[in-house]
Chains A and B, each alone.
Chain A
């Protein structure tokens, strides 16, 4: 009887909560994935058909052959990669400087990055629209890339600074005593050690830019339209064709979710450190 009681208790205290948590987090995603590989006949079947009667990629084929989706994918890839390159090119030197030099205003600047994070993008869309139009950057890759990389700077800097700080300064100094210049020290000692942090930050910027919707919607026309904006237009266009819509949703969500899983541990570390220390 004791075994029976602890079994029921275990069921209530562990198994059922685990299932609930799993269902809430995973079910919508899984259902979208399943729907995207079901033949159209399965979708409207009554009673509900959970598993596809046969796997099909027809929705993906339609999406790629009949719509602008492949171009939108390429646009998203270019924008996100551009945002990563520009973001890293500016954040890495700045983070190095924040970590290795003590100068006036250092603390104020670091704090100001946190405060800036509190500013909603929606507040900035009017002036940014006016600014980008004046500069002729509406519907250009440069415009969207500059926006996306700037929005991700605050978090990137906090994350990178903590990685730079984790490398003991004695290492820099030892290298310089051995006759290395500062640049050589950075290239041969600091950068290799900080690489995991840089990769994590790069993936963070990539995911944020890939997923961003509001700024991209406002700034992009047909030339640079990314997948998020395109899928939103498809929702209006193919209202009832859930096969195509779920295929699009899957293509947008699946790759970055997998990417996220690789760096999850480090990203979460950076996120909680940033939030708790602030």
Chain B
């Protein structure tokens, strides 16, 4: 152990600490202070206690945004985990041209939200979109994401799944590859069917990775902003807002910094609560079955 120079060690770490402190840590504290004050552009802040939280919690648009967020997050995370799991098992069972296929499947991870919005909007464009025409040819109406709030949220979910599926998939795939193949051989010798070996071998051993993927995706999906902002802008009539969009509009359109800051902390709190609840439930199920 070369432990002789703790001073230089700290000197090497300090620039990173300074940046994190100035750009993330102090602002986070400042947001908390702001959430207890009434303030706006060029206005002196005045202490109002929890009034901002009360104001936000009494706003029907906040509840609408929270509901939208919870629905979209639940759909996106579960569908992603399900498809990701299926794909992980599929890839592990041996696919042709695996490296190439893997590269293609992971590619959306590098695509910016703005480009993704252009792709998906054009696919579903009511007049000229390929998907709209495909839907029309089997007798279905086009998806009117700009008019119908449910369609708008469905498009947002689709876009979100497309962008983040690589993340869920790769975590589950790595975990699946780390399961030793002897276990499957032993199960096969004992006469286990494919379904039994999935239930008794794959699923229990993948559970930690599933939990981690779920936790990460819950926390990240909860801050969903760009997809909604670029797809619907929260409209029509504020019906597709999610929490992050609500926060942004409060701050920069209605110039209400206090309520916006309170929303920020409520967002963090809600995402943590949901993630914790979900994790506990999964853990319990895991141990009840084991």
Interface of A toward B, CB cutoff 8 Å? 14, 17-18, 21-22, 24-26, 28-29, 31-32, 35, 43-44, 47-48, 89-91, 93-94, 96-98, 100-104, 109, 113, 116, 118-128, 130-131, 146-147, 149-151, 153-154, 157, 169, 172-173, 207, 210-211, 213-214, 218, 227-228, 231-232, 235, 242, 245-246, 248-250, 252-253, 256-257, 259-261, 264, 268, 271-272, 275-276, 278
Contacts and interface: CB of A to CB of B under 8 A. Distances in A.
A169 B3 CA distance: 12
Given A211-B113, A246-B122, 17 more contacts: A93-B13, A121-B223, A122-B247, A122-B248, A124-B31, A146-B23, A151-B23, A154-B20, A213-B113, A213-B230, A214-B226, A249-B118, A253-B116, A256-B110, A257-B107, A260-B106, A260-B110
A97 B13 contact: yes
A97 B122 contact: no
B49 interface: no
A32 B90 contact: no
A147 B244 contact: no
A123 B118 contact: no
B12 A94 contact: yes
A198 B19 CA distance: 20
17 contacts: A14-B95, A21-B105, A22-B101, A22-B104, A25-B104, A28-B162, A47-B133, A90-B19, A91-B16, A93-B13, A104-B6, A172-B2, A173-B2, A210-B112, A245-B122, A271-B170, A272-B174
A194 B22 CA distance: 29
B268 A119 contact: yes
B95 to A, nearest CB: 6
Nearest to B122: A242
A26 B23 contact: no
A195 to B, nearest CB: 19
A150 B96 contact: no
Task: Among A153, A249, A261, find the residue whose CB has the most chain B CB atoms closer than 10 A.
Answer: A249
A101 B5 CA distance: 8
B111 A127 contact: no
Contacts of A228: 112-114
Given A24-B162, A126-B251, A126-B260, A153 B20 contact: yes
A58 to B, nearest CB: 17
A21 B219 CA distance: 26
B173 to A, nearest CB: 9
B191 interface: no
B123 A25 contact: no
Binding site of A, secondary structure by majority: helix, strand, loop or mixed? helix
A88 to B, nearest CB: 11
Nearest to B222: A120
Interface string B215-247: 010010011011001100000000000001001
Nearest to A92: B12
Contacts of B277: none
A276 B15 contact: no
A146 B5 contact: no
Closest A-B pairs by Cβ, 4 of them: A260-B110, A211-B112, A127-B27, A120-B223
Contact of B209 (A22, A151, A252, A276): A276
A124 B25 CA distance: 9
A31 B268 contact: no
A93 B109 CA distance: 28
A126 B117 contact: no
Interface residues of B, number: 88
A122 B23 contact: no
A268 B106 contact: yes
A97 B130 CA distance: 53
B24 A119 contact: yes
Contacts of B108: 25, 29
A25 B175 contact: no
A32 B122 contact: yes
Contact of B251 (A98, A125, A257): A125
A98 B27 CA distance: 25
Contacts of B170: 268, 271-272
A102 B3 contact: yes
B257 interface: yes
A18 B52 CA distance: 52
Nearest to A273: B174
Contacts of A242: 122, 125, 128
B9 interface: yes
Nearest to B99: A265
B9 A101 contact: yes
Task: Among B103, B118, B248, find the residue whose CB has the most chain A CB atoms closer than 10 A.
Answer: B118
Given A124-B31, A231-B114, A98 B1 contact: no
Given A101-B6, A235-B230, A257-B110, A25 B105 contact: yes
Task: Among A102, A127, A245, A259, find the residue whose CB has the most chain B CB atoms closer than 10 A.
Answer: A127
B196 to A, nearest CB: 18
